[in-house]
Structure 1
Amino acid sequence: MALFYVNGLPIGWISIMLAILASMGGFIFGYDTGQISDILLMPDFLVRFATCQTPGDASSCSFSTVREGLIVSLLSIGTLVGALFGAPTADFLGRRYAMTVECVVFMIGVIIQITAFHSWVQFAIGRLVSGLGVGSLSAAVPMYQAETAPPQIRGTLTATYQLFITFGILVAYCISIGARSIDGSGSWRTVVGIGLLWPLILGIGILFMPESPRWLTAHGRFPEARRAIAATRGIPESEADDHFFVHRELEEMKSAIEFESKVKAGWLDCFKPERMQLYRTLLGMTLQMFQQLTGANYFFYYGATVFTAVGIQDSFVTQIILGAVNFGCTFGGMYVMERFGRRFPLIIGGVWQSVWLFVFAAAGTAKDPKEHKNIGELMIVSACLFILGYAMTWAPGVWILIGETFPTRTRARQAALSTASNWLWNFLLAFFTPFITRAIDYRYGFVFAACNLAGAVIVYFFLYESSDLSLESVDMMYCDPTCKPWTSRTWAPAGFSSRQDLVEQARAAEMHKPLEAGAGEETRYEKAGGPPDAAAKAA
């Protein structure tokens, strides 16, 4: 039975459950990201893996720049490799089984970490192995969500992946503050070991969810695909073979898969200038790069260390405040990106983030925050306001754009290249941040402030507004020589009076209602350059 209706179309509770359960993949990444900042400060971890002037005295222990950078950043190397292999693995095993296997890989990495006694190399290798699982999940989870969720709520359900990343970070902070009082290695082993629970939930629970109907259709398993579609629509399984919605969506999948099989492209096609392919590949990779260069992970990876340095007595509590701001504001980000489009929030977000990073860096540079309590408090407030802007704009916005910007025939490869760019810069920042901060201290914030401004400028001059458009229309917009990024908000294909007219016609066609203004769907598409099939082929 349908849970509720959107635009008159049924939505089943299974579609909500599978999106939430699959988003545990994002939670796993967030938890693994959030835990390391606090673990680096735990006394037993320092005694075991850092260099100590007095054996057994944590206050005399510290990590070398290289060692600290490798412990933090090797996770990102694993995610980089895993992201490139995630899509082929999901194609070969199926979306659900791939996620289960990737959860096992992550758990192996966790076991390697908690069985380390005095070898920091073993702990770092464990993070590398866990990264392989996380990176593969980062490719498989959004793919599964997008292919399984009903189109009417696909954007919102796919955005739960980013939401769960922030939730995972917050939970890691909360568990760390509770575990720090445990004697001996139980402090950090508890935080790391609890990480085994999340992949168990995802790896086992996902097997009780329906497989991606698109993957089933691509492998000729049509009866199973019908049942999967019916489940997400809240339609009884007994009606799956004859129900109108199930039949229509299955036929659309068959047509799309047949079309894609004829236009399947290789990696080199991502870098061809025709149809703005190279432009969009570089744009996607650049946006992912600047998402890292916002400086958000500077606080997530090294936040506890930073706030200890500014004289905050309990940096663990400060981390929780940052995590809560990040998590709570992500809900607002989901609304902002739907309400105000893509370009405007990213531009405003870049400027906002730059301002507060400038305040953070200027305050820390002007006076020693350890000696001036007000300066330290100002830096904490600046960091929170920075995270507020990031969580509402660049954090969800870039991931949404990766799913909207590329054409069908090269979408998977261009998305993989863009995601790989994200993980590469994630590694570079995680590894080199200790070196940079030791050299320029809080002036590092000025670097991130400049990068945020540069990101806003790039969005203005190069990113096209893709909100409210179908993926086919987005492709047409990028290929229209008369359309410029700064005018793209009002762009609509030939034959439509405005973008709003295009949106209304698309909704009407989706609901199979008569079109207004005396024009049929065929007439509209003929004005735009041909019938629906021809338009699809042109895209």
Structure 2
Amino acid sequence: MKSSVTLGITKKAPQPGSGVHEGAVAEHEPAHQDGDISAADTSGVTARKSSSVDKAQGAAYPVVSRSSTSVPAQLRRWASTISSRFTSAPGDSTGPPPARRPPIDLKVPHFGSLQGHTLNFVLAIVASASFTEWGYEQGVLSGLLTLEDFQRAIPYMAPYEPDNAWCREEIQCMGTHGTQAIGVGIYQLGCFLGAIAVLQYGDGWGRRNSAFWGTLVVIVGTTLQAIAQGGVAVSYMLFVVGRIIAGLGNGVVTASIPTWQSECAKPHMRGLLIMLSGALISGGIALSYLMNLIFFYTEGSARWRTPIALQIVICCIVLIGIPFLPDSPRWLLMKGHTEECRLTLARLAGQHVDSLQVESDMRILQNNLAAERAGGPFRYRELFTSGPSQNFHRTLLAIMAQAGQQLTGINLTTYYLSLLFEKSLGLAAELARILSFANGLWYFLTSLCALPLVEKMGRRKLLFLGAGGMTFSFLVLAGIVSTSTYIDDTPALSQAGGAWSVLLLFLYVGFFGVSYLGLTWLYPAEITPLRIRIQANGLSTATNWLTNFMVVMVTPPGIAHIGWGMYAIFGVLCAAQIPVIYKCFPETKGRSLEELDVIWAYAYEERTSVVVESLRIKRLEGDELDEWIARYLATGPMGSWHAQAQAQAHGIDIGSDLGLTESMRARLDA
């Protein structure tokens, strides 16, 4: 009998005529019991061989069994294990738990000895530093647009306004609200193009590489912005070109990192880690407001060049950290790097490479990938198809989430906060910058509150809270600002009206920070299947930037011409999202990405709402998840379902021990 030793587990060829399919996967057992560890366990990772069937499917999961045990006896023991798993009560200690091997020091490229929760958090912090840079870039212009030295250096960024101390004569401020909006909004256009590039090339580049090279492009664009000088046209051109290049790099980064983090994180940590990215966006905004305030009291071009150039420091932190982190295990498996995928799973889980958890995670990834590869090479029209995967529905939700974030009007405050305080509420320049920093700090603190809430409250409740709170804040703010009087084209509110207006802007930012800031990046990464994930996220991110560009372009002329009406418009847009969330957005809290795929497929087959099913269906894990994948994603022989067929072939009835629902048993019998 042919056999090969693989990580202390024997792989045995199937008996001719035994009825056992070559690709079957039986329940994994520890290769050694009672604490005995063989040389295979202490010598590290030995060679693995995959079956020809596995190779044909693009997967390489081991077929494990004990060579000294007959197939029927093994299935009876397997059935007993599964039975005790589903029938024992919590805390029941009818038998000792299987021994868990301690983590080992695998020499996995790019991320040293980090593993488990530590690796997950380091990955989140380093990768999310890219979002800190993005937040910094969003906020830094807020304090520069009304700065005299900035207007003097780049006159096209300064619309002529009689009350502007620098614009004594119209020739000194040569810009318009349109040229100012283009200078700000061209960055979003660059981000849009970067996201489109990920849509086309993201799967080839990889998640980690995309983040690295995108950050490098951001440094180039930021440098051009910081050195902008020369004639009137030259300085404006350098600034605009720098912003579009920086946007191109940031578009690549923001389309890649949420996917990277979601594919590396465990279900119970995924929401927290990606929400951390959102918190770091607001942290970057707060930092930029602080730098604007500090350099406001200096003299010369350093007042605006230094705050812009400080973005490069954050980018360098990202560039140093990314090479030490692993790429997504799902992407590695998709590209055929099976062993590196297995080792990455072991590190992320903090488990031995041949532990049951790693084998189970590996098997689920391979089964899901096999199902998605059944359709052949990816084609862009798949983004707009239905079927069990419901690609179009999921892509549309990802787009709605990202567009909805921008339609709340957040960049009305992020890019133009000092402008709002000075031109809409009539506050002094120094006070406007102090309040901007206080607002940024408040923004950061409220976004931190979202970290524990996202897994406790769930995604839907947080979105309801955010949309409702922002609606209230903007509509009341519009009512107060509408009562202001104008003196020499400058709005003047009463002392009480000004205080309430500032408070409502703070309240609005707080509701956004605790909900939409991170959730709208988390949702697209969670709800899209692996086959279209990077493309759907690229498309949704591109939508975000396109909507962002629209908001940034209309805000300066909107404030100048309709004033308080801008707040009313965004209040109505926030209110319109409440019924959309209720009807369309499923709850993804605590579920694995493969589990969500199954729920979408189940809702399609049963002709029910995926929102309802996401709230109704209990957690699916391990063999039970295998059963649902086999039934609803039709991936062929795998896990418990194929073991059930093996058992029936040998006259063993273990159906009652599988923990199946009545509908599942009925489908199995059919």
Name the TM-score, length of structure 2 as normaliser. 0.69
Matched AA of 1:173: Y
Task: Answer yes or no: is 1:174 the counterpart of 2:174.
Answer: no
Shift of 1:274: 4.3
Partner of 1:364: 481
Q: For the structure 1 residues 91 and 278, does the alpha-carbon distance in structure 2 shift closer, same or farther, using more than 3 Å as the test?
A: closer
Q: For the structure 1 residues 142 and 528, does the alpha-carbon distance in structure 2 shift closer, same or farther, using more than 3 Å as the test?
A: farther
The answer (yes or no) to whether the contact 2:149–2:303 under 8 Å persists in 1 is yes
- Structure 1, unmatched stretches of 5+, are 4-9, 493-501, 532-539
For 1:418 and 1:479, the matched residues in 2 are separated by: 23
Shift of 1:485: 7.2
Q: For the structure 1 residues 245 and 274, does the alpha-carbon distance in structure 2 shift closer, same or farther, using more than 3 Å as the test?
A: closer
For 1:529 and 1:345, the matched residues in 2 are separated by: 38
Q: For the structure 1 residues 403 and 325, does the alpha-carbon distance in structure 2 shift closer, same or farther, using more than 3 Å as the test?
A: same
Matched AA of 2:364: E
What is the total number of aligned residue pairs between the two structures? 506
Partner of 1:496: none
> Larger Cα Rg: Structure 1 or Structure 2?
2
For 1:485 and 1:93, the matched residues in 2 are separated by: 32
Partner of 2:224: 112
The answer (yes or no) to whether the contact 2:467–2:575 under 8 Å persists in 1 is yes
CA deviation string 1:45-79 (max 9, x = no partner): 1112125779x963546541111101111111111
Partner of 1:497: none
Shift of 1:375: 1.4
CA RMSD between the two structures: 3.1
The answer (yes or no) to whether the contact 1:96–1:206 under 8 Å persists in 2 is yes
The answer (yes or no) to whether the contact 2:127–2:257 under 8 Å persists in 1 is yes
CA deviation string 1:297-351 (max 9, x = no partner): 1000111100012132311111112212221111222333322333333233222
Q: For the structure 1 residues 522 and 71, does the alpha-carbon distance in structure 2 shift closer, same or farther, using more than 3 Å as the test?
A: same
Matched AA of 2:135: G
How do 1:215-234 residues align onto structure 2 when only pairs under 5 Å count? Answer: 215-234=331-350
- Percent of paired sites with the same residue: 24
Q: For the structure 1 residues 347 and 260, does the alpha-carbon distance in structure 2 shift closer, same or farther, using more than 3 Å as the test?
A: same
For 1:214 and 1:489, the matched residues in 2 are separated by: 23
How do 1:184-263 residues align onto structure 2 when only pairs under 5 Å count? Answer: 184-235=300-351, 240=353, 242-263=354-375
How do 1:66-465 residues align onto structure 2 when only pairs under 5 Å count? Answer: 66-86=178-198, 88-118=200-230, 119-235=235-351, 240=353, 242-263=354-375, 265-274=378-387, 276-309=390-423, 310-313=425-428, 314-368=431-485, 370-465=492-587
Shift of 1:169: 0.9
Q: For the structure 1 residues 223 and 461, does the alpha-carbon distance in structure 2 shift closer, same or farther, using more than 3 Å as the test?
A: closer
1:366 aligned counterpart, secondary structure: coil
Matched AA of 1:462: C
Q: For the structure 1 residues 150 and 121, does the alpha-carbon distance in structure 2 shift closer, same or farther, using more than 3 Å as the test?
A: same
For 2:258 and 2:614, the matched residues in 1 are separated by: 26
Matched AA of 1:71: G
For 2:662 and 2:210, the matched residues in 1 are separated by: 39
Shift of 1:272: 3.1
Matched AA of 2:460: R
Which moved further from structure 2: 470-479 or 435-444? 470-479
Shift of 1:354: 1.0
2:660 aligned counterpart, secondary structure: helix
- Structure 2, unmatched stretches of 5+, are 1-101, 105-114, 486-490, 627-639, 641-654
1:184 aligned counterpart, secondary structure: coil
Shift of 1:87: 5.3
Partner of 1:471: 596
For 1:223 and 1:465, the matched residues in 2 are separated by: 33
For 1:486 and 1:104, the matched residues in 2 are separated by: 40
Q: For the structure 1 residues 418 and 98, does the alpha-carbon distance in structure 2 shift closer, same or farther, using more than 3 Å as the test?
A: closer
Matched AA of 2:440: G
Shift of 1:225: 3.0
Partner of 2:660: 523
For 2:300 and 2:329, the matched residues in 1 are separated by: 49
Shift of 1:388: 1.3
For 1:529 and 1:112, the matched residues in 2 are separated by: 66
Q: For the structure 1 residues 321 and 207, does the alpha-carbon distance in structure 2 shift closer, same or farther, using more than 3 Å as the test?
A: same
2:443 aligned counterpart, secondary structure: helix
The answer (yes or no) to whether the contact 2:133–2:281 under 8 Å persists in 1 is yes
Name the TM-score, length of structure 1 as normaliser. 0.85
The answer (yes or no) to whether the contact 1:350–1:456 under 8 Å persists in 2 is yes
2:336 aligned counterpart, secondary structure: coil
For 2:133 and 2:453, the matched residues in 1 are separated by: 25
The structure that is helix-richer by fraction is 1
CA deviation string 1:18-46 (max 9, x = no partner): 11101111111111111111111222111
Shift of 1:142: 1.6
For 2:323 and 2:394, the matched residues in 1 are separated by: 36
Q: For the structure 1 residues 353 and 286, does the alpha-carbon distance in structure 2 shift closer, same or farther, using more than 3 Å as the test?
A: same
The answer (yes or no) to whether the contact 1:23–1:164 under 8 Å persists in 2 is yes
Shift of 1:380: 0.7
Q: For the structure 1 residues 156 and 274, does the alpha-carbon distance in structure 2 shift closer, same or farther, using more than 3 Å as the test?
A: same
For 2:278 and 2:260, the matched residues in 1 are separated by: 15
Q: For the structure 1 residues 351 and 214, does the alpha-carbon distance in structure 2 shift closer, same or farther, using more than 3 Å as the test?
A: closer
Shift of 1:487: 4.7
Task: Answer yes or no: is 1:58 the counterpart of 2:183.
Answer: no
Matched AA of 1:472: D
Q: For the structure 1 residues 316 and 198, does the alpha-carbon distance in structure 2 shift closer, same or farther, using more than 3 Å as the test?
A: same
Partner of 2:63: none
CA deviation string 1:504-523 (max 9, x = no partner): x5389689xx9xxx964462
CA deviation string 1:198-218 (max 9, x = no partner): 111111211122333333333
1:441 aligned counterpart, secondary structure: coil
1:23 aligned counterpart, secondary structure: helix
For 1:121 and 1:529, the matched residues in 2 are separated by: 69
For 2:464 and 2:441, the matched residues in 1 are separated by: 24
Which moved further from structure 2: 225-234 or 445-454? 225-234
Which moved further from structure 2: 297-306 or 158-167? 158-167
Task: Answer yes or no: is 1:506 the counterpart of 2:611.
Answer: no
2:310 aligned counterpart, secondary structure: helix
Matched AA of 1:91: D
Matched AA of 2:166: A
The answer (yes or no) to whether the contact 2:267–2:590 under 8 Å persists in 1 is no
